[in-house]
Amino acid sequence: MFWVISKGGPVMIPIILGSVLGLAIIINRLAILWAIRIDSQKFTDKVIALVRSGSRDPALKLCDENTKYPVAVVLKAGIERSALASHDMEKAMERVGNNAVKGLERYIGGLISIIGIEPLLGFLGTITGLIKAFMAWERAGSDVTVSMLASGIYESMITTAAGLIVAVPYYLVCNFIISRTKYISYELSDSAMRLSEVISENKAR
Give CA–CA dist 70/96, Å, rounded: 9
Quote the pLDDT of residue 21. 97
Find the range with the poorest average confidence among 19-23, 126-130, 147-151: 147-151
Quote the pLDDT of residue 5. 64
Q: In this structure, how many other beta carbons lie within 10 angstroms of the beta carbon of residue 117? A: 18
Predicted confidence (pLDDT) per residue in 131-189, tens digit: 777 676 666 666 656 565 666 677 778 888 899 999 999 999 999 999 999 999 999 99
Q: What b/e sequence results for 84-102 when a residue is b if at least 16 CB atoms lie within 10 Å of its CB, and e otherwise? A: eeeeebbebbbebbeebbe
Predicted confidence (pLDDT) per residue in 44-102, tens digit: 999 999 999 888 899 999 999 999 999 999 999 999 998 888 899 999 999 999 999 99
